Amino acid sequence: TSMEATTILSVRKNKSVVMIGDGQVTLGNTVMKSNARKVKKTYHDKVLAGFAGATADAFTLFERFEGKLEECSGNLTKAAVDMAKEWRSDKMLRRLEAMLCVADKKLSFILSGTGDVIEPEDGVMAIGSGSMFAISAAKALMDNTKLTAKEIALKSM
């Protein structure tokens, strides 16, 4: 059984973007650690990146993405697309069991384990085994409350 991280949620509302993680690392159904840092700031603190999946794979993916951001001078779209192209063509990367959520002031993307780049249509995105619960709660709060992006993210986790 591999070590896996659980849930990352990002909420974009009123020119604000927030990304949080539950901090859980699980082995099968057992929580091995509950305070892991799975969301990081990168590219001069202008980009948020959160990862879920097999821990070592997620760190490898994050490091590669950081490199792409530097190569692309912080252009999130170009970095995400270049990363996806590399993911599809690189034999080692193709075996990585991880996903990334990335966001800057204007854009948000999910980079999937199959090399897809997905832009959420409503400002809410989540990855990990608890993602459907978190995204459902966040969308309901977005549509039915006046809460801030941060408040929505915290309540949804």
Active-site pick, 1, 6, 7, 114: 6
In the chain the first and final C-alpha atoms are separated, in Å, by: 25
Could you give the CA distance from residue 100 to residue 39 in angstroms, rounded to a whole number?
A: 10
Take residue 150 and report the two structure tokens written for it: 């941060």
Q: Is 77 exposed, middle or buried (0-12, 13-18, 19+ CB in 10 A)?
A: middle
Nearest CA to 124 out of 7, 9, 5, 2 is that of 9
Whether 6 is catalytic is yes
Q: How many CB atoms lie within 10 A of CB 85?
A: 13
DSSP-assigned letter for residue 17: E
Could you give the CA distance from residue 20 to residue 24 in angstroms, rounded to a whole number?
A: 12
Q: What is the set of active-site residues?
A: 6
